[in-house]
Amino acid sequence: MAPIQQAGDAEKYDYDLIVIGGGSGGLACAKEAASYGKRVIVFDYVEPSPRGSKWGIGGTCVNVGCIPKKLMHQAALLGEAIRHAKAFGWELVEPNTSDLDEVKCNWSKLIAAIQNHIKSVNWTTKVSLRTNNVKYENAQARFENEHTIIGRTKEGSEFKIRGDNIVIAVGLRPIYPDFPGALEFCITSDDIFSLKEAPGKTVIIGAGYIGLECGGFLNKLGFDVSIMIRSVPLRGFDQQMASLVVKEMEENGVKFLFKCIPHSVTKQSNGKLLVRWRYVTAEENDIEAYKEEEFDTVLLAVGRQSLADEIALREVGVHYNLRNKKIFSENEQTNVPNIYAVGDVLEGKPELTPVAIQAGKLLASRLFNNTKKLMDYDNVATTVFTPLEYGCVGLSEETAVKRFGEENIEVYHTYYKPTEFFIPGKNNGNCYLKVICMRELPRIILGIHFVGPNAGEVIQGYAAAVKAGITYDTLENTVGIHPTVSEEFTRLSVTKRSGLDPHPPTCCS
Ligand code: FAD
Ligand code: NDP
């Protein structure tokens, strides 16, 4: 860690801190540093996507990530709620809503509402930088040397500034796989939230967070959706839970192309996109193994990579992973002592907004406020916002078994029936949760997993409990709040080892 600023440095440098990237991590770090009276500048610049999508300050989360995604998710859930309202006695009398099965979402209106919200956040972000005394430059930054940054404006003019400390917070951008037509005809999550025309019949390539979330909301908004999976869904997550998410989506009409990889996308004379793919296990020259189908939209969700080359990292000597261009660091410090990195751009760290924010704040506090607190990347909770959400914290069952041995862990599990699902007859077959703990006293909980409504809200509190070292006995001693879905955690009694049926008999037993 670089020493606290020395006397005389102020004259040598234009700024105490230069932050490259005005997203979740960069903005948090900049504002925290400025709160200690430091001279701080943030560069933020968005390179338009190959389809021409661009956006304002705030980074991925605000513009093309968490926020528009959550709004689409909400739109999707509302559509379902409108249909279910009938069962609860609602009489929707507008002429075009008398048949609730025919309720349609107007894509242009949805996009306009989402984009308006984003613009308001862009504006308040700029205002908040000003009130926090952080200088903002809408320019693309790259290193000249370890203390000098070259800024390039939209118009192409260049300028230099010198900083004592530099934080790289440039985040990631979607990867375009190397198959014919990918770059020319496909879109990514950078485009979907501002797409002018409704996407129509869509195939999504990739089944990580982004693939499943986009597939989930597009399906619920009424589009024909297929998802191509080359290995497993949600790799790295508990696979039993991931399979419930997939099952629920399949039961709602999403088509999964299992064990398939894309071969090419070509544009047809009718304007449609012809997608060709084959089974992963098949030989490339096995004609029989290929399939093809026309789609209106092909959405790539095959992961994200950093823009390390664009900021001249190699030239300045910062070590990074040549495969995904992510930066190696120890406690957010790179191998070049005055250069730091936070957020998605860090190798081996979760790509999540709250992680970037917390790491950015703590780093600024260590640099400028003489604190020692390090970012703790363990037990970070997360949620996959598919229509039926999946939230979790801690270890998957697979990892717990691998780390401690099957004989040393206990898995408590149950299916459950959310009260609100009964009247509209909503499928509750995939509402399931499990708690993985050590078998030995004091039965420390290793992982908590939940598929069901509002999983994000449910898991957040349990995340604090897991951080505090919660045991199964404490959970068992906790009195639930009835009738909630979260209370199911306090009623767990069936272990997988027992072989007993984990299905509940009735609502309130
Ligand atoms: P970013 O927010 O990406 O910010 C980096 C900024 O740097 C960008 O504005 C970029 O344009 C700018 N930049 C890049 N290069 C330069 C340069 N040379 N000069 C100047 N500026 C530059 N996380 C969650 O926690 N919950 C979610 O629900 C969630 N949903 C997501 C949904 C989608 C579709 C996606 C794509 C991501 C989602 N994420 C979610 C992840 C979350 O958005 C990221 O973890 C978070 O934005 C990372 O913050 P960051 O500061 O590292 O980078
Ligand atoms: P992921 O790495 O999670 O998933 C990528 C998917 O694409 C995997 O299914 C992968 O398959 C597949 N894939 C990769 N390369 C190819 C290829 N060449 N051909 C076909 N399929 C391929 O990336 P995402 O883009 O979905 O998400 C990026 C990150 O963004 C996440 O890790 C997450 O941290 C963050 N995020 C968070 C969200 C949240 O908090 N709710 C929501 C959305 C994103 P395989 O498994 O075989 O490699």
Q: What angle do CA 419, 488, 465 make, to 5 degrees?
A: 135
| Residue 315 maps to a domain | yes
Range of the domain at 247: 182-302
Q: What are phi and psi of 360, to 5 degrees?
A: -65, -45
Q: Which long-range contacts (CB under 8 A, 24 or more apart) does 345-350 make?
A: 345/21, 345/168, 345/169, 345/170, 345/171, 345/172, 345/306, 345/308, 347/320, 347/321, 349/377, 350/377, 350/380, 350/382
pLDDT of residue 506: 65
| Residue 101 maps to a domain | no
Q: 197: domain CATH number?
A: 3.50.50.60
| Residue 79 maps to a domain | no
For residue 389, the ligand closest to its alpha carbon is 2
Which of ligand 2's atoms lies nearest the C-alpha of 236?
46
The pLDDT of 374-403, averaged and rounded, is: 98
Number of domains, the chain? 3
Dihedral (Cα; 350, 66, 212, 194), 10-degree rounding: -140
Q: Is 445 helix (H, G, I), strand (E, B) or coil?
A: strand
pLDDT of residue 54: 97
| Residue 209 maps to a domain | yes
| Amino acid, single-letter form, for residue 149 | I
236 with 134, same domain? no
Distance (Å, rounded) from C-alpha 240 to C-alpha 202? Answer: 26
Region of 63 please: left (phi>0), alpha (psi -120 to 50) or beta.
alpha
The residue whose two tokens read 């948090």 is 28
The pLDDT of 151-171, averaged and rounded, is: 97
How high does pLDDT run on average in the chain? 95
332 with 263, same domain? no
26 and 343 in contact (C-beta within 8 Å)? yes
| Residue 146 maps to a domain | yes
| Residue 7 maps to a domain | no
- Per-residue burial over 402-430, b if 16 or more Cβ lie within 10 Å, else e, is eebeeeebbbbbbbbbbeebeeeebebeb
161 with 298, same domain? no
For residue 436, give every residue at least 6 positions away whose Cβ sits within 8 Å of its Cβ, in sequence order, or none: 394, 395, 397, 400, 409, 410, 411, 445, 446, 447, 448, 449
The pLDDT of 419-445, averaged and rounded, is: 97
The CA-to-CA distance between both ends of the chain, in Å, stands at: 56
494 CA from centroid of ligand 2 (Å):
33
Which of ligand 1's atoms lies nearest the C-alpha of 173?
3
| Residue 80 maps to a domain | no
18-47 pLDDT tens trace: 999 999 999 999 999 999 999 999 999 999
479 with 453, same domain? yes
231-250 pLDDT tens trace: 999 999 999 999 999 999 99
159 CA from centroid of ligand 2 (Å):
37
Q: Is 15 helix (H, G, I), strand (E, B) or coil?
A: strand
In short, whether 346's Cβ falls inside 6 Å of ligand 1 is no
In short, whether 383's Cβ falls inside 6 Å of ligand 2 is yes
33 with 156, same domain? yes
In the set 84, 117, 413, 482, the catalytic residue is: 482
pTM: 0.96
268 with 309, same domain? no
319 with 170, same domain? yes
Which of ligand 2's atoms lies nearest the C-alpha of 212?
26
288 with 349, same domain? no
Assess whether 503 carries a catalytic annotation.
no
46-71 pLDDT tens trace: 999 999 999 999 999 999 999 999 99
348 with 409, same domain? no
322 CA from centroid of ligand 1 (Å):
20
Of 249, 274, 302, the last residue of a domain is 302
Q: 463: domain CATH number?
A: 3.30.390.30
321-341 pLDDT tens trace: 999 999 999 999 999 999 999
Distance (Å, rounded) from C-alpha 491 to C-alpha 484? Answer: 12
| Residue 473 maps to a domain | yes
90-146 pLDDT tens trace: 987 665 555 556 689 999 999 999 999 999 999 999 999 999 999 999 999 999 999
